[in-house]
């Protein structure tokens, strides 16, 4: 699956290390939880460090159950500044009495090794909920982790944040701002427990652009709404979701402090990163074999369009039909119909498409004749488009989801062991 | 799985034919849709007829896409009277330009054969959406269908409304009202596309009790909220859902016209029928191996308790864990946490139980030690209870769901063919 183009940005290599002055590393410190199969040898602890202090912003899960790292990171980002990210997989450090203490210890351990303040460390965890996080492996591994930091360590860090992910999800772009070339890169972890409700995954984004605390937060809060918050794998909003951005200013552009043209360029680059990460996340949904991109237009507002698009990509029946490559458009219309939004169902048109073409399957709320053979051919592709028009209004939205497969059930039938 | 007891009712045999004066029949008229495998020989057309005119009430899907039969039945029930139900499976008669015409024809064909008015016929359809309903098989089969009506034809009718159902879901109770013994029975179709949002299935209930149009509607609207609307299989609200009740008055009780003690008895019997049908429906959710009964107490209101209970039974991750018999309580707490309701997550306790016992898995929002062996034993049962307390308030609710299995995906990967 290729990146989707966005105007005025150029895709480059390097993920979270693409921007100037960011080092990263990942190691296997040995957090494997009780009963876990040890056949899976993978990194479980990552560190990202900026050479200079960054302005930083984050968006967090809206789940009432919040992982302890979320609480600690919120505190640390109150001043809009950060230097490093410490993150582990395997154990979510959530619903444990000593969670906050452990999350603070992670920051302190990292800070000590890096010679920075613990308040400048962003901490995140992902994995099983409700098992006490053993701090010893992290303490013991910190020196090796810090010593191994390199300006091309993004792949090692990325491996460390993956859980049931099967694909590596990282991206970087170059863009021009104020006459300077800036770079922005990001990596994302996320495969299950993903549902649109503020940032729905762990995502770390780094950039060498110079931008104020207020505006990096504004851009992030804005872009998350139309990217990660429009992707769903299984309707479950995780307790540990977080997306954060660190902007170092090393690119030398004039500091962005207003919602001006440069801000627009920054926001556009962030959109290119996060939209593509959202697509990659949906494509790598647990057990998924297909990315479903549902676009809705003609709505009275973007909000209405979003509600309808999400309703479709969240429908279990529709998702199972996509796995079966079955053009059961009745299920699409059914999901459009139960969306909690106001529109005339008799004006709804539905097309299905992919690289193999696009066909009409429903017009004015009723079925139209189409070639089942052509539909099969279209649905045999990896990226499927569902194109819905619900009227003549100006509102539109795109949402991303995936198919529902045997493997989703297999992966989640016994995740803890 | 046994019926769940309700005070003051006695379970009896007979489904929709249990009450005095109701005949039923079901035949295979041959509605198999294009491409359908014809290996499955089953009834596809059912008729239920009362000897006398009944007061009648119904509740319908809230999906904006409404099957044509819903529109026609709504018209026919405006006067609160009915004599018969005609219902087919295989084809939902939804999203077709000629849907209303065909639904009216079904009523006319049945009425003509029975010598009654078409306006006294309730019509319902279930099956694939968006394929034109062929009326010929129904027209050709109507004579045989009507001639075969018997006072013990409930099983034949029940078979005709089943789609992917694997279990026969019917029930009947006797209860006393005004010194007379009354009987009420019902049958339910429903396996997939089931989500709480008004009646979430096709359900037909008959009774020989005498009750006014207004009060039968009041009782039904009331009871559906705490029974069928609290069951979910897959989060998809069907286009064709309907539950209707016909009350003939043949039992000879004094007509219930007020919300008095007799009304309470009627409502209680209806609850016994619909609560058990809701449980049976969830247990027979597509691909399901288990019934999950989630009870929430201590909420500030019943509404809050309901929101939390539904959030849990709708969680795909939780459902997959139940299939895997994995006591991953973190997923329960996660679903409690993202429920759209106001409460203190730090006061949440969770127990899991079954016939094999009950254990605490979470107290005050944090995990407690429990025996994984005992948890496995509890979760190996067919009926699983999730018992949640979220505070000290008076509100409580029960919701019913099922596990998410390979077979759900299999059944829905290619439903149309």
Rounded average pLDDT over A4-13:
94
Band of residue B95 on the pLDDT scale cut at 50, 70, 90: confident
Q: What CATH number does the domain containing B333 carry?
A: 3.10.20.340
| One domain for residues B56 and B193 | yes
How close, in Å, is residue B302 to chain A by CA atoms?
19
CA pair distance A196, A228, nearest whole angstrom: 7
Residue B246 lies in a domain: yes
**Contact criterion met (CB < 8 Å) for B412 and A128:** no
Is residue B22 over pLDDT 90?
Answer: yes
User: The tokens of B270 are what?
Assistant: 């209806």
Q: Check CB contact of A193 with chain B, cutoff 8 Å.
A: yes
**Contact criterion met (CB < 8 Å) for B333 and A415:** no
State the residue for tokens 């057990």. Answer: A287
| One domain for residues A116 and A34 | yes
* Chain B residues 39-98 with a CB less than 8 Å from chain A: 62-66, 92, 94-97
pLDDT in tens, B54-81: 999 999 887 888 889 999 999 999 999 9
Band of residue B332 on the pLDDT scale cut at 50, 70, 90: very high
What's the ipTM?
Answer: 0.71
| One domain for residues B135 and B265 | yes
This prediction has a pTM of 0.78
Last residue of a domain, one of B246, B267, B283: B283
Residue A277 lies in a domain: yes
| Bigger pLDDT: A123 vs A162 | A123
How close, in Å, is residue A140 to chain B by CA atoms?
26
Rounded average pLDDT over A344-357:
94
Q: Check CB contact of A409 with chain B, cutoff 8 Å.
A: yes
| One domain for residues A225 and A332 | no
Domain count, chain A: 2
Last residue of a domain, one of B252, B283, B314: B283
Rounded average pLDDT over B229-235:
78
Is residue B39 over pLDDT 50?
Answer: no
Of residues B63, B66, B416, nearest to A328 (C-beta): B416
**Contact criterion met (CB < 8 Å) for B338 and A197:** yes
| One domain for residues B48 and B132 | yes
| One domain for residues A261 and A391 | no
Q: Sort out which chain B residues have CB atoms less than 8 A from A129's CB and list them.
A: 328, 330-331, 333-334
CB B8 within 8 A of CB B265: yes
Of residues A321, A345, A412, nearest to B317 (C-beta): A412
Q: What is the pLDDT of residue A197?
A: 41
Cα–Cα distances (Å) from B305 to B5, B280, B297, B313, in that order, read 22, 22, 6, 13
CA angle B274, B20, B16 (to 5 degrees): 35
CA pair distance A71, A404, nearest whole angstrom: 33
User: Positive or negative CA dihedral for A200, A206, A207, A213?
Assistant: positive
| One domain for residues B31 and B138 | yes
User: The tokens of A412 are what?
Assistant: 């989640």
* Chain A residues 209-268 with a CB less than 8 Å from chain B: 234-239
Residue B78 lies in a domain: yes
Rounded average pLDDT over B95-115:
96
Q: Sort out which chain A residues have CB atoms less than 8 A from B343's CB and list them.
A: 64
Last residue of a domain, one of B263, B283, B303: B283
Of A177-181, B234-238, B249-253, where does mean pLDDT reach its minimum? B234-238
Q: Check CB contact of B345 with chain A, cutoff 8 Å.
A: yes
Q: Sort out which chain B residues have CB atoms less than 8 A from A128's CB and list them.
A: 328, 330
Of residues A96, A333, A372, nearest to B65 (C-beta): A333
pLDDT in tens, A300-312: 999 999 999 999 9
Q: Sort out which chain A residues have CB atoms less than 8 A from B412's CB and list them.
A: 316-317, 320-321, 324, 404
Supply the range of the domain harboring residue A223. Answer: 10-283
pLDDT in tens, A218-277: 999 999 989 988 888 766 666 778 889 999 999 999 999 999 999 999 999 999 999 999
Q: Check CB contact of A323 with chain B, cutoff 8 Å.
A: yes
| One domain for residues B15 and B120 | yes
Residue B304: CB partners within 8 Å, gap ≥ 6?
B341, B342, B343, B390, B393, B395
* Chain B residues 376-405 with a CB less than 8 Å from chain A: 404-405
Q: Any idea of the CA torsion for B115, B121, B126, B129, to the nearest 10 degrees?
A: 100
Q: Which of B61, B183, B200, B237 is catalytic?
A: B200
Q: In percent, how much of chain B has pLDDT > 70?
A: 94
Q: What is the pLDDT of residue B200?
A: 42
Element (H, E) at B144: helix B136-147
pLDDT in tens, A65-124: 888 999 999 999 999 999 999 999 989 998 888 999 999 999 999 999 999 999 999 999
For chain A, the maximum distance between any two Cα atoms, rounded to a whole number of angstroms, is 68
| One domain for residues A113 and A240 | yes
Residue B201 is among the residues annotated as catalytic for this protein: no
Q: What is the pLDDT of residue A82?
A: 96
Instruction: Supply the DSSP string of A382-410, one letter for each residue.
Output: SEEEEEEE-SS-SEEEEEEEE---HHHHH
User: The tokens of B31 are what?
Assistant: 């509605």
Q: What is the pLDDT of residue A233?
A: 74
Return the residue of A nearest to B236 by Cα.
A315
CA pair distance B231, A229, nearest whole angstrom: 27
Band of residue B228 on the pLDDT scale cut at 50, 70, 90: confident
CB A245 within 8 A of CB A222: no
Mutate which: B330, B344, B401, vs A, most A CBs within 10 A: B330
| One domain for residues B275 and B316 | no
Band of residue B416 on the pLDDT scale cut at 50, 70, 90: low
| One domain for residues A159 and A271 | yes
Band of residue A334 on the pLDDT scale cut at 50, 70, 90: confident
Residue A363 lies in a domain: yes
Residue B3 lies in a domain: no
């Amino acid at each position: 699956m290729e990146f989707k183009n966005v105007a005025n940005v150029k895709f480059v290599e390097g993920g979270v290390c693409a921007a100037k002055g960011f080092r990263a590393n990942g190691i296997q410190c040995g957090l494997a939880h009780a009963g876990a199969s040890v056949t899976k040898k993978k990194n479980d602890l990552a560190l990202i460090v900026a050479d200079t202090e960054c302005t930083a912003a984050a968006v967090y899960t809206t789940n009432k159950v919040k992982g302890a790292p979320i609480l600690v990171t919120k505190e640390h980002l109150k001043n809009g500044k950060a230097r490093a990210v410490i993150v582990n997989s395997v154990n979510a450090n959530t619903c444990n009495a000593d969670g906050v203490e452990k999350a603070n210890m992670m920051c302190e351990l990292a800070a000590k090794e890096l010679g920075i303040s613990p308040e400048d460390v962003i901490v995140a965890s992902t994995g099983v909920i409700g098992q006490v996080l053993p701090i010893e492996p992290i303490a013991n591994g910190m020196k090796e982790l810090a010593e191994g930091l390199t300006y091309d360590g993004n792949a090692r860090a990325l491996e460390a944040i993956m859980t049931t992910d099967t694909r590596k999800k990282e991206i970087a772009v170059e863009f021009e701002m104020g006459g300077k070339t800036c770079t922005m890169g990001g990596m994302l972890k996320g495969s299950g427990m993903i549902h649109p409700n503020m940032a729905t995954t762990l995502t770390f984004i780094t950039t060498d652009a110079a931008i104020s605390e207020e505006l990096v937060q504004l851009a992030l809060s804005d872009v998350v709404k139309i990217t990660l918050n429009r992707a769903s794998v299984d309707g479950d909003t995780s307790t540990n979701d977080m997306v954060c951005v660190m902007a170092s200013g090393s690119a030398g552009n004039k500091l962005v402090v207003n919602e001006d043209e440069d801000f627009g360029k920054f926001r556009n680059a962030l959109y290119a990163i996060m939209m593509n990460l959202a697509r990659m996340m949906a494509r790598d949904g647990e057990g998924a074999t297909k990315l479903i991109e549902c676009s809705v237009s003609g709505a009275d507002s973007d909000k209405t369009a979003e509600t309808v698009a999400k309703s479709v990509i969240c429908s279990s029946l529709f998702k199972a039909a996509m796995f079966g490559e079955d053009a059961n458009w009745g299920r699409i219309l059914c999901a459009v119909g139960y969306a909690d939004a106001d529109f005339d169902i008799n004006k709804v048109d539905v097309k299905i498409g992919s690289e193999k073409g696009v066909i009409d399957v429903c017009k004015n709320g009723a079925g139209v004749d189409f070639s089942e053979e052509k539909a099969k051919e279209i649905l045999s592709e990896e990226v499927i488009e569902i194109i819905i028009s619900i009227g003549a209004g100006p509102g539109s939205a795109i949402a991303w989801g995936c198919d529902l497969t045997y493997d989703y059930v297999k992966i989640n039938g016994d995740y803890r062991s």
